[in-house]
C-alpha cells in the first residue's frame, strides 16, 4: 500500500520538525517541508501530493495562493494556525482549521483520522470531514 504524501508548510522550524516526526510516526510520508509560499507552490508543481497541512502565515506572507492551488488541484488540506476562523480569508472559511498551539501528536492523529475518513468515503472533501473534532476545534 502506498503511503500518503504530505506537504507541510509552516514558518516555525521547531514546529515543522515536531509535526514531521509525528506525521511520519502515523504512517504518512512528509514529501516536503517548506516555510514560504514560493517554495510551497514549487513543491506542488513538481511533486505528487495527497494532502497538505498549512499555516496561514508563512515567511513570505499569507498561504492563500498555496491554498488556492491545492483547492484547484483537488488536494485536501487543513490550516494549522493561530488565526481565528474570522481572520481567515472568506474563500477558505470552509477549510478545517486546527488551532495553535496543539500537541504535534494530536495534530498527526487528526490528520490521519481525516485521511482515513476520506479514503473510506472519497465523495466527501476535507472541508466536510472532521469539522467537529472538539478538542482540536478545526472549524471555529
Q: What is the C-alpha to C-alpha distance for residues 99 and 62, in angstroms, rounded to an integer?
A: 16
Cα-Cα end-to-end distance for the chain:
34
pTM given for the model: 0.83
- The answer on pLDDT for 73 being more than 60 is yes
- The answer on pLDDT for 123 being more than 90 is no
Q: What residue spans of the chain are helical by DSSP H? A: 13-25, 37-46, 64-73, 104-120
Q: Selecting from 3.20.20.70, 3.40.50.620, 3.40.50.720, 3.40.50.2300, what CATH number does the domain 5-120 have?
A: 3.40.50.2300
Contact between residue 77 and residue 49 where contact means Cβ atoms under 8 Å apart: no
Buried-state track 27-49, b at ≥16 Cβ within 10 A, e below 16 = ebebbbbbbbbebbbebbeeeeb
pLDDT digits (tens, 9 = 90+) for 4-31: 899 999 999 999 999 999 999 998 999 9
Amino acid at each position: 500500500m502506498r503511503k500518503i504524501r504530505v506537504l507541510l508548510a509552516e514558518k516555525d522550524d521547531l514546529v515543522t520538525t515536531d509535526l514531521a516526526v509525528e506525521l511520519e510516526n502515523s504512517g504518512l510520508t512528509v514529501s516536503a517541508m517548506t516555510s514560504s509560499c514560493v517554495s510551497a507552490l514549487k513543491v506542488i508543481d513538481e511533486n505528487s501530493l495527497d494532502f497538505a497541512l498549512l499555516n496561514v502565515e508563512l515567511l513570505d506572507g499569507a498561504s492563500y495562493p498555496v491554498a488556492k492551488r491545492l483547492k484547484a488541484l483537488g488536494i485536501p488540506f487543513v490550516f494549522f494556525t493561530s488565526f481565528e476562523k474570522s481572520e481567515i480569508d472568506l474563500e477558505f472559511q470552509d477549510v478545517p482549521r486546527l488551532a495553535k498551539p496543539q500537541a504535534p501528536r494530536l495534530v498527526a492523529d487528526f490528520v490521519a483520522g481525516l485521511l482515513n475518513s476520506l479514503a473510506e468515503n472519497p465523495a466527501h472533501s476535507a472541508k466536510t470531514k472532521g469539522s467537529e473534532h472538539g478538542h482540536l476545534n478545526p472549524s471555529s
